[in-house]
């Protein structure tokens, strides 16, 4: 049955207007983006099929153009729209992060770093530089490694921090495997960076490891 024939209170668009976007499931939000389904399949059912096929929302959003367009009901136009939507989200979160102290909006910072790193095929190590009020100065990419590892030198972290006159930093990197659990190597390099920055009185506020649709915070684990 097409969505237009559903009871009005069950239609995704109407539900969003009445209850807000947070009340909708991933499939319902995706259905609004898709707008239409395919023959014999409503937009909501198509969205459910896509989420199942790709293994979840994070995997769908990070799919390559070829992977995305190979599924019936999708195409290059939809892929372009999706990438534009994701970039708008990145820029919106960047504005939100820059607007206030990271200590007053930790979830926004987490969302911002997660969307920067989500779905990358290579490991990337980021340095978020903060001023004395813990407001963002800039986001710096320290290293782009292989699919298994990135090489980060503490001296480069110190050099970059001094050049930006930063008063505090947040580290972040992704695991292309999708598993966000920090490795022993992650903990070791974090300790080395923390020790190096301590020499110039700059604290490491957190180190976020991003996996597939989830992340792990060193600060929350009590490791910093």
pLDDT digits (tens, 9 = 90+) for 206-220: 999 998 878 999 999
Residues in the chain predicted with pLDDT less than 70, given as ranges, are 1-5, 7-9, 147-150
DSSP β-ladder status, 204-210 and 168-174: parallel
Stated pTM of the model? 0.74
Q: Give pLDDT tens digits for 103-148.
A: 777 888 888 898 888 878 889 999 999 999 998 999 999 999 876 6
What's the half-sphere exposure (Cβ side, CA atoms, 13 Å) at 210? 25
Residue 198 CB neighbours (<10 A): 11
pLDDT of residue 196: 96
Scored b (16 or more CB within 10 A) or e, 99-136 reads eeebeeebebbbbbbbbbbbbbeebbbbbbbbeeebbb
Pick from 100, 3, 110, 97: which is nearest to 47 by CA?
A: 3
- Break the chain into its structural domains and give their ranges: 3-87, 101-221
Residue whose pair of structure tokens reads 């909708």 in the numeric block? 24
How far apart are the two ends of the chain, measured CA to CA in Å?
Answer: 54
pLDDT of residue 206: 95
Which two tokens mark 128? Answer: 């978020």
CA angle 163, 169, 171 (to 5 degrees): 115
Q: What's the rounded Cα separation, in Å, for the pair 134 and 127?
A: 14
pLDDT of residue 145: 84
Non-local CB neighbours of 222 within 8 Å, separated by 6+ positions? none
pLDDT of residue 147: 62
Give the CATH fold of the 101-221 domain: Cytidine Deaminase; domain 2 (3.40.140)
- Cα distances from 1 to residues 29, 43, 44, 189, in angstroms, run 19, 10, 11, 55
Cβ pair 113, 173 in contact under 8 A: no
Cβ pair 213, 58 in contact under 8 A: yes
Residue whose pair of structure tokens reads 């966000």 in the numeric block? 180
């Amino acid at each position: 049955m097409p969505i237009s024939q559903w009871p009005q209170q069950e239609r995704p668009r109407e539900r969003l207007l009445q209850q807000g976007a947070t009340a909708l499931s991933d499939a319902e939000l995706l259905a609004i983006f898709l707008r239409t389904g395919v023959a014999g399949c409503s937009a909501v059912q198509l969205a459910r099929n896509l989420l199942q096929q790709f293994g979840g929302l994070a995997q769908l959003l990070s799919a390559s153009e070829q992977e995305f367009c190979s599924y019936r009901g999708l195409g290059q136009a939809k892929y372009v729209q999706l990438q534009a939507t994701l970039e708008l989200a990145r820029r919106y979160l960047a504005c939100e992060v820059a607007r206030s102290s990271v200590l007053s909006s930790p979830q926004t910072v987490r969302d911002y770093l997660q969307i920067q790193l989500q779905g990358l095929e290579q490991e990337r190590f980021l340095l978020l530089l903060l001023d004395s009020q813990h407001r963002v100065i800039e986001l710096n990419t320290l290293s782009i490694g292989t699919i298994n590892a990135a090489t980060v030198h503490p001296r480069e972290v110190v050099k970059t921090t001094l050049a930006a006159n930063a008063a505090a930093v947040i580290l972040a990197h992704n695991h292309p495997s999708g598993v966000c659990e920090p490795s022993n190597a992650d903990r070791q390099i974090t300790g080395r960076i923390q020790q190096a920055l301590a020499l110039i009185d700059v604290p490491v506020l957190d180190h976020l490891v991003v996996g597939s649709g989830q992340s792990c915070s060193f600060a929350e684990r009590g490791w910093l």
